[in-house]
Structure 1
Amino acid sequence: MRLRSDIFISALTRRVFGLGGFAAIERRGADQAGAIFIRHRHRDGTEDLYAPAPQMMAGEDGERRFERRLTRVEAADVDATIAREARFDSDLWLVELDVDTLGDLFPVTDDT
């Protein structure tokens, strides 16, 4: 059974704060199963965007996995992508992370 979106977000933000970083919910989605997008801000002003990975890449236990959708782009590019996604799914979450490294904060599929 997959963890509710609001609980996943709560755990993620606590872990980021525990690492000395900053996390903020930019857009609140559906508590139960809203899609989660993660915006990772870098110190040089660029950003990465992580989106839900396709269902076929989900773990056997139903664990959420993410794929890197955008890499080292301007904030406006992330905003435009989220605006497009929101037209199709108004229940999505957007979480902003400002932490040096993501480490194992959330599972990311291979970039290959």
Structure 2
Amino acid sequence: MDARLPAHVEISGLIRAVQGAGGFAMVVSKGERDAGVILILTQERDKNARLWERMPQLDGTRAFVCTREEDPENKKEFSEYLDRRTTQDPDTWLVELEVANPERFVPGLDA
């Protein structure tokens, strides 16, 4: 039995938490309702964009890991990566969080 929350429930809770803290959150790309991969794009005042993805760990758990950071000198590269990543797997959810200290909303991080 899989104890994971359905993707849409996890994302709904994430969006409400960010909005409750006075931030902005939105679904950029909607994936498979129950088991889609979740990517979280965090930003603070349109700076320091980071992409977080849940990855398998050596102990068998799955944790969110920063897989990409935006280079301020080449923002286009980051944008193109996001497009490729969501196009490769149509089950992928991409959720953008714009809030102060956004990493505190990434599940499992102690930011």
* TM-score, normalisation: structure 2: 0.79
Could you say if the C-alpha distance between residues 56 and 83 of structure 1 is closer, same or farther in structure 2, counting changes exceeding 3 Å?
Answer: farther
Identity of aligned residues (%): 31
Structure with higher strand content: 2
Q: Choose 19-28 or 79-88, whichever is displaced more.
A: 79-88
Instruction: Compute the RMSD of aligned alpha carbons.
Output: 2.3
* TM-score, normalisation: structure 1: 0.78
- The aligned amino acid for 2:80 is A
Q: List runs of 5+ in structure 2 lacking aligned partners.
A: none
Q: Contact 1:49–1:78 at 8 Å: present in 2 too?
A: no
In the alignment of these two chains, the number of paired residues is 105
Match of 1:33 in 2: 35
- The aligned amino acid for 1:22 is F
Q: Secondary structure at the match of 1:13?
A: helix
Q: List runs of 5+ in structure 1 lacking aligned partners.
A: none
User: Which of 58, 68, 90 is residue 70 of structure 1 equivalent to?
Assistant: 68
Could you say if the C-alpha distance between residues 2 and 99 of structure 1 is closer, same or farther in structure 2, counting changes exceeding 3 Å?
Answer: same
- Please report how far the alpha carbon of residue 90 of structure 1 lies from its aligned counterpart in structure 2 after TM superposition: 1.2
Hey, what's the Cα distance between the residues in 2 that align with 1:93 and 1:72? 19
Q: Choose 24-33 or 47-56, whichever is displaced more.
A: 47-56
